[in-house]
Structure 1
Amino acid sequence: MDVIFSLVSPGGLVIAFCIATLAGLVKGMVGFAMPMILISGLGSFLPPELALAGLILPTLFTNAIQALRQGLRPALDSIRRFRVFMGVALVFLLLSSQLVRVMPVPVLLAMIGGPVALFCVMQLAGWRPHLRGGANTALEALVASVAGFIGGMSGVWGPPMVAYLTAIDTEKREQIRVQGVAYGLGAVALAGAHTVSGVLNAETVRFSALLLIPALAGMWLGMRAHDRIDQEAFRKITLWVLLVAALNLLRRAFFG
């Protein structure tokens, strides 16, 4: 624990556990938003690189659970259907992840907070982009490149994908599974990329592993509560929390 406390104070660790529990709860309820909650919450009081390292293992394990909940075959079907999105996003994720060490902290905070705030405002305003023609390979690749580029530096690449899946009217159960598969593959790539970049190292991986405990507990509670709580109301509350957190990151980026 001495290594952990050299990275974060005991009080900070308690706060981090609470944030991870909330992130897991939301993940279990709606299938996404764990990285956004973790990076926004942890980034409010920890260095951006430590916050990024902290979310890697919880994101990896919870997405594996989500992706394989209905079995291996449906997960493989989802990979085949959205192979363009996943492939392009992974390439851009790997490329941009190497910029973390050289990117100024205010710029990194702005690139994390900006997309999250935009996504929240769009959803809370009730705007749902709709593509009448369904999936479009060129647009899919474009959205994937944006998602991957942002994800490599911030660990957050969900908002563009959720918007795209919503726009092509993806069936709810498949959408949650696709998110689990895509985010899971992204989490594997992110873990590898940031092992190379040095963000995930012998010290920070312990912090990330500790956050697995509350994250998995929260996800278990979220999955149990999924059929008992008004998901739409819970989603809106979550978006407001995310928006406040994202605006706080933008405040730090522009005003210190």
Structure 2
Amino acid sequence: MSEHILLAAIAATFFAAGMVKGVTGMGLPTVAMGVLGALISPLAAASLLIVPSFVTNLWQLLAGPAFGPLVRRLWPMMLAISVGTLLGASWLATGDTRVSTAALGLALVIYSTVTLVGRQLAVPARVEPWLSPLIGAVTGVVTGCTGVFVIPAVPYLQSLGLSRDDLVQALGLSFTVSTIALAAGLGAHGAFAVSGMGLSVLALVPALAGMWAGQRLRGRISPVAFRRVFLICLLLLGTEMTLRSLV
């Protein structure tokens, strides 16, 4: 693939990922890693993801109404995400594209399947103090290994009975912490450097344009139908990536 075609593919991917986030409130890193992981190594895709993911998720985090209460409630989970990501990033940083591609594909399959067919769970308040750090640690390891932030953090946060605004802000908090921890983990293993962030900064432009387009589109289409199509596409993409890495 020529350099110009690759750059166009990266721009189109981040625009599409931003549009998904604009419509559904999430999905930018999942779409970006899923598509780019099929074109370049998952390590390179994760490095490109850092700036667009950080900026868009920080925006989502700070725009919500309950930053302080959510941090006080979820800090054990966020701490565990950070530790797990730092540990898991050693796998992604090895550059073993076959293993990391298989892990990324499997993560996409699990996420899309659970979200499509899974029933909404409710976590009792009494188990939250010990379950939150456990979920955070698993999410962190998955993030470090694949660059995907959503499993099992998203289903867990959805099960806490948060209001819609608080849930969106909690997702922003989780994704922001995951992005920072992933950058730190890759940097600690020499796989990510601040001096190499130029292309990641440029990727922010189509990502923000896509978010704007998605927010405009949100009122004109059914978010439920859009989300279902998005998840089916992720399921097919994840299946293809998993099978490709095994042959």
TM normalised by structure 2 equals 0.91
Offset, 1:98: 2.4
Contact in 2 for aligned 1:32/1:158 (Cα 8 Å)? no
> In structure 2, do the counterparts of structure 1 residues 8 and 37 end up closer, same or farther at CA, with 3 Å as the change threshold?
farther
Deviation string, structure 1 residues 147-191 (Cα, Å, up to 9, x no partner): 000111222121311110222222221111111112112212222
Offset, 1:231: 1.1
* Structure 1 counterpart of 2:24: 30
Q: Distance in 2 between matches of 1:172 and 1:107?
A: 37
Offset, 1:58: 0.7
Q: Which amino acid aligns with 1:165?
A: L
* Structure 2 counterpart of 1:3: none
> In structure 2, do the counterparts of structure 1 residues 134 and 162 end up closer, same or farther at CA, with 3 Å as the change threshold?
farther
Asked if 1:232 is matched to 2:237, the reply is: no
Asked if 1:137 is matched to 2:129, the reply is: yes
Asked if 1:45 is matched to 2:39, the reply is: yes
Q: Which amino acid aligns with 1:212?
A: L
Q: Distance in 1 between matches of 2:231 and 2:120?
A: 15
Contact in 2 for aligned 1:28/1:220 (Cα 8 Å)? yes
Contact in 1 for aligned 2:105/2:242 (Cα 8 Å)? yes
Offset, 1:38: 0.7
Q: Distance in 1 between matches of 2:82 and 2:220?
A: 35
* Structure 1 counterpart of 2:190: 198
* Structure 2 counterpart of 1:9: 3
Q: Which one is further off, 222-231 or 118-127?
A: 222-231
Contact in 1 for aligned 2:61/2:173 (Cα 8 Å)? yes
Contact in 2 for aligned 1:63/1:180 (Cα 8 Å)? yes
Identity fraction in percent: 27
Offset, 1:142: 1.6
Q: Which runs of 5+ in 2 are unaligned?
A: none
Structural mapping, 1:99-138, within 5 Å: 99-102=91-94, 104-133=96-125, 136-138=128-130
2:88 pairs with one of 84, 96, 99: 96
Report the secondary structure of 1:241's partner residue. helix
* Structure 2 counterpart of 1:182: 174
2:14 pairs with one of 16, 20, 23: 20
Contact in 2 for aligned 1:31/1:180 (Cα 8 Å)? no
Asked if 1:160 is matched to 2:134, the reply is: no
CA RMSD across the alignment: 2.1
Q: Which one is further off, 134-143 or 42-51?
A: 134-143
Q: Which one is further off, 16-25 or 190-199?
A: 190-199
Report the secondary structure of 2:122's partner residue. coil
Q: Which of structure 1's runs of 4+ aligned residues deviate more than 6 A?
A: none
Contact in 1 for aligned 2:81/2:138 (Cα 8 Å)? yes
Q: Give the number of equivalent residue pairs.
A: 247
Q: Distance in 1 between matches of 2:135 and 2:2?
A: 36
* Structure 2 counterpart of 1:171: 163
Contact in 2 for aligned 1:30/1:176 (Cα 8 Å)? no
Deviation string, structure 1 residues 49-107 (Cα, Å, up to 9, x no partner): 21111111110111011111136xx2222111111111111111112212323363222
Structural mapping, 1:50-69, within 5 Å: 50-69=44-63
Asked if 1:219 is matched to 2:211, the reply is: yes
> In structure 2, do the counterparts of structure 1 residues 170 and 155 end up closer, same or farther at CA, with 3 Å as the change threshold?
same
Contact in 2 for aligned 1:119/1:159 (Cα 8 Å)? yes
Report the secondary structure of 2:152's partner residue. helix
Q: Which one is further off, 246-255 or 37-46?
A: 246-255
